[in-house]
A and B are shown apart, each in its own frame.
Chain A
C-alpha cells in the first residue's frame, strides 16, 4: 500500500460515516441489511453470540459464502481474518473484499504480531480498547479503527468504556506540549508522529467507528453521541426478535443520533432485543476484547 492507496482506503472509511455496518451470515440476511439501509455488511459464518456458544477455533469464513454475499448486494462487503493471520488476509484481498477486519472475534493466529497492513492494497479495520492500541494499529496500516466493546454479549458497557477511554485520551493529548508528547508516546507505546497528529487534530488519523454489544437503537445512538462516526451492529440485529425492524431502527438511530424525538419514534414497536450477558457472567478467558496487542 502506497500513500495513494492509503488515501483511497481511508476515503472509503470516510464514505461509511453516519451509517451502520451489520454482521450477516447468508444472502437473505445481507438483503435484509441492505434493504434496512446498512452502509456495509460484514460477511461471516457465525455471528459473535454463536461463536461464544460453540467454542473451538474460529477462522475466516469460507470464500464461497463471502462471494455469494458479495454478489447479492451493491453496498461494500467486509470480512474478518484472524489477528496476525496474513495468509487469510491474502485470500480475502484476492477475493476482492472491500474491507478486511483483523478481528479479535476470531481466534488469534499470532499472539505477538498483528498483520503488517502496509503489505496489502485492501483496506483494514482493526479493534482497539484504548488510544495506544488504536495508534499501533494505524501505524501498522489500518484505515479504520473500531472500539472493540465485548462482541456477542448484547451489553454495551465495554463499548462505552472503550469509546470513553479513547476520547478522554485524545482530548488530553490536545493540551500537551511537544516535550510531553514524546513522553506520552512512550507511555502509549505508539509511534510519535501519530501521537503528534492526534494532539494537533483532536482526532484519530483514520475514522473511528464503534462496535461490540450494541443491541438497541439507543445503544447505537449512545456510541454516536460519545464520538463514534459509525456503528457496527453484530449479533444485535439477527438475534433480535424482529431483525428487519431492529436493523431499520438502528440505521435511523445513527442518522438521527442526537434527536431524542426521533429516537423515541424508532425505538417503539421493534420487539425484544437479542439475549444478553452481563460482564460478571463472563470468565476472563471468555472476554474477546483482551485479544490484540
Chain B
C-alpha cells in the first residue's frame, strides 16, 4: 500500500514539507477536517503560530488526531511541537498532550534571538544537521519515555517517544532531508 503523509493544513509552513516529501516519492494530503486523516499513515504538525492553530482545531479534529496518534507516527515542528507537548508554559495554553514534555513558548526570545546552529545528531548518514530556530520553543523537561536524538547547548531539540517525534527547529527549511527520511522510516517499523 502506498503511504500517504498528512500535513495539518490550518496555518503555517506547509508547502516546504510537501516539496520535500514529493521529492522522496511520498504522497501528501492536506488535513483540515477529521475525516481527511482516513487512510493516512503519518501526520506532520507544521511550524507556524500555535495559538492560531489551536483556534482552528475543532473538538472533532482533536479527537481524530489523538486517536490517529495512538498507532501512527506524528511529527511536530516548532509550533507543532508545542501542540504535542503535555505541558506548555510562557504563557500556559491548551495542547494535544501527546508527548511527555514541558515546553516553553518563545523560549529563546523574539525574532532578534532566532538563530542557525549546526546540531550534532546520531541519525545514520549525517553527523550534523542545520538547525534553523525561529522564535523557537524550548524544551524544559522530558519524561522517562522520551528519548533525545539531538541536543543544542544541552537543551533537547529533537526528541522521540515511540512513534511520535518533535523538533523545535525547522528541518523543512534546511537543504537536508535526513530528518524527513527518519520520520518516514517510522511508518514501516
A interface vs B, CB < 8 Å? 4, 7-9, 11-12, 14-19, 34, 36-40, 70, 74-76, 93, 96-99, 121-123, 248, 251-252, 255-256
- Asked if B173 is an interface residue, CB under 8 A from chain A, the answer is yes
Chain A residues with CB under 8 Å of B12's CB are: 15, 17-19
Output the least CB separation between A63 and chain B (Å). 15
Indicate if the CB atoms of B110 and A98 lie closer than 8 Å: yes
The interface residues of chain B lying within 8 Å CB-to-CB of A18 are 9-12, 14, 48
State which residues 108-133 of B face A: CB under 8 Å. Answer: 109-112, 114-116, 132
Starting from the known contacts A11-B173, A18-B12, 16 additional A-B residue pairs (CB-CB under 8 Å) come to A8-B134, A11-B13, A11-B132, A17-B15, A18-B9, A18-B48, A19-B48, A19-B52, A38-B52, A39-B48, A74-B106, A76-B135, A96-B110, A99-B111, A122-B111, A251-B52
Q: With a CB–CB cut-off of 8 A, which chain B residues contact A70?
A: 110
Beyond A7-B116, A36-B55, A37-B56, is A15–B13 a contact (Cβ under 8 Å)?
yes
What is the CA–CA distance of A256 and B55 in the complex, to the nearest angstrom?
Answer: 13
CB <8 Å contact, B111 and A255: no
Number of interface residues of B (CB under 8 A): 34
A–B complex contacts, Cβ < 8 Å, 11 sampled: A7-B173, A8-B132, A9-B111, A18-B12, A36-B55, A37-B56, A39-B11, A76-B110, A96-B110, A97-B111, A121-B112
- Known contacts being A18-B12, A19-B48, A98-B135, is A123 close to B111, with CB within 8 Å? yes
CB of B185 within 8 Å of the partner chain: no
State the B residues within 8 Å of A (CB).
9-16, 32, 47-49, 51-52, 55-56, 78-79, 90-91, 105-106, 109-112, 114-116, 132, 134-135, 170, 173
List of B residues within 8 angstroms of A7 by Cβ = 116, 132, 173
- Shortest CB-to-CB span from A94 to chain B, Å, is 10
Cβ of A198 to closest chain B Cβ, rounded Å: 16
Partner of B170, one of A4, A11, A39, A96: A11
Task: From B48, B56, B91, B134, name the one whose CB has the most chain A CB atoms within 10 angstroms.
Answer: B134
Complex Cα distance, B15 from A17, in Å, reads 10
Pairs of residues from A and B, 6 with the lowest C-beta to C-beta distance, nearest first: A37-B55, A98-B111, A18-B11, A39-B49, A14-B13, A8-B114
Residues of chain B within 8 A of A252, CB atoms compared: 56
Contact residue among A34, A36, A122 (Cβ-Cβ distance under 8 Å from B112):
A122
Q: A249 CB to closest chain B CB, in angstroms?
A: 12
Report A-chain residues with C-beta under 8 Å of the C-beta of B32.
Answer: 255-256
For A17, give its contact among B13, B105, B110 (CB under 8 Å).
B13
Measured in the bound complex, the distance between the Cα atoms of B40 and A210 in whole Å is 33
Give chain B residues whose Cβ lies under 8 Å from the Cβ of A256.
32
Which residues of B lie under 8 Å from residue A74 when comparing CB positions?
A: 51, 90-91, 105-106
Residues on the A chain within 8 Å of B49, using CB: 15-16, 19, 39-40, 75-76
Residue of A nearest to B114 (CB): A8
Q: Are B134 and A11 in contact (CB under 8 A)?
A: yes
B135–A251 contact, CB under 8 A? no
Least Cβ–Cβ distance between B140 and chain A, in angstroms: 16
Report the separation of the CA atoms of residues A122 and B173 in the bound assembly, to the nearest whole angstrom.
Answer: 19
Whole-angstrom distance between the Cβ of B138 and the nearest chain A Cβ: 14
B79 CB contacts on chain A under 8 angstroms: 15
Chain B hits for A17, CB < 8 A: 11-15, 48
Structural contact, A37 and B51, CB atoms closer than 8 A:
yes
Chain A residue nearest in CB terms to B48: A15
Q: Give the distance to chain A from B108, nearest Cβ to Cβ, in Å.
A: 12
Residue of B nearest to A73 (CB): B51
Within the assembled complex, what's the spacing in Å between the Cα atoms of A16 and B48? 6
B111 contact set on A, CB distance < 8 A: 8-9, 12, 76, 96-99, 122-123
A251 to B48, CA, bound (A): 14
